[in-house]
Amino acid sequence: MENITIGKLKENFSTSILEINTNNGDAFVLVEKKQIIPILTFLKNDSELDYNMLIDLSAVDYLKHPVKKAERFEIVYQLYSLTKNHKIRIKVSIEMKDLCVDSATSLWKSANWAEREVFDMFGIKFNGHPNLRRILTHHEFIGHPLRKDYPIKKRQILSVNDTLMDEMEQKLREKGLKQ
Amino acid sequence: MGLEKFLENAVLTTTISEVLKWGRKNSLYPFAFGTACCAIEFMSLSSSVFDISRFGAEVIRFSPRQADLLLVAGTITFKQAPILKQIYEQMPEPKWVISMGACASSGGFYDNYCTVQGIDEIIPVDVYIAGCPPRPEAILDAIMLIQEKIQKEPTEYQKPKRPIVIGNE
């Protein structure tokens, strides 16, 4: 049975789709990097597809993976429709020379922290992200620990307490509680 | 002091430092730095079944400035390490530290880039407790060891004098 999402994507973005495949019954679509935001917007706004939830956004480093890939990184968008009850995975290849992709924060608010995590762990930049800072590691931390070439036992001594107040102050200003 | 033969068994004589140490060891003010499941065991210790108040240490302080026993219960990451060090430095002297459980004592099974391999890399530790997480009885044992240590602590005049060093040796 042809997946409705894949059918619609083929119809509308036939030139931007690089690969369609399934893994254990779950379909994924590899698309072109420059077309990612139009595709995600289409998936979200199309009334039959209605992908209103971004379950997760993460990245994969294929540096030491047994399956050789042309590009080192891949970003994976896990989408889900609460109304239609279907799922899809969208993948984008990221090359080492150009470590950036357009941000999906304008489509789903959950992309904000997920993209910060990918930035923190893999060093992939998201163009148009409102607050692209490290989210899990410390601001003094050097490197990106989920990259396969980061030594797993390379420990870094940090000297000061990390603060969350800059974000808090921005929120207080938005709510008019602080000048 | 020779007073005993006049007063017989009515009065005990001692030194002021012994009384001070006896008071200290029976009124420990713990500060629980709980970051993981060990803190849950500590909650059970402080409630009625195991009852830490039998040892006079039931007043859990949530300000390090009012505590003299730091109980590090849980995994300490490098991001957490400056906070732990600051809290230790905020505690007034004299102070004691219990490292509770495998993670705080050695990093536990988190042998990776972000976990401190034992809090003794950051602050001095008096008693280590094994276990993942340890039973509440083990923490009671640690508190008893701390009490023993407090009672045996040398007073100023008992502390060893630093040898005078002449030349290089």
Judge whether A15 lies within some domain: yes
| Chain B 54-83, residues with CB within 8 Å of chain A CB atoms | 78-79, 81-83
Judge whether B169 lies within some domain: no
Residue B154 main-chain phi, psi, to 5 deg: -70, 140
Total domains, chain A: 1
Judge whether B159 lies within some domain: no
pLDDT, residue A119, reads 93
Q: Is A163 on the interface with B (CB under 8 A)?
A: no
Judge whether B160 lies within some domain: no
Distance of CA B48 to the CA centre of its chain: 22
B79, B112, B117: residue with CB nearest A162: B79
Note the pTM of the prediction, 2 decimals.
0.81
H or E element at residue B34: strand B30-34
Rounded CA-CA distance B94/B92 in Å is: 6
Chain B residues whose beta carbon lies within 8 Å of the beta carbon of residue A155: 78, 113-114, 116-117
Total domains, chain B: 1
Residue from B77, B79, B88, B122 to probe the interface with A (highest A Cβ count within 10 Å): B79
**Cβ atoms < 10 Å from Cβ of A54:** 20
Residue A109: which domain range? 2-174
- Interface predicted TM-score of the whole assembly (ipTM), two decimals: 0.77
pLDDT, residue A2, reads 64
B82, B113, B116: residue with CB nearest A154: B113
Q: Write out chain A's pLDDT in tens, 179 residues.
A: 468 888 888 888 888 888 888 888 788 899 998 889 999 999 999 888 889 999 999 999 999 899 888 889 999 999 999 998 888 999 999 988 889 899 999 999 999 999 999 999 999 999 998 888 888 888 888 889 999 999 988 888 888 887 777 778 888 888 988 87
Judge whether A65 lies within some domain: yes
pLDDT, residue B157, reads 67
A138, A153, A154: residue with CB nearest B79: A138
CATH number of residue B120's parent domain: 3.40.50.12280
Judge whether A30 lies within some domain: yes
Q: List all residues 6 or more positions away from A132 whose beta carbon is below 8 Å from its beta carbon.
A: A115, A116, A119, A125, A126
For chain A, give me the number of helices (H) and strands (E)? 4, 7
Judge whether A179 lies within some domain: no
CATH number of residue A131's parent domain: 3.30.460.80
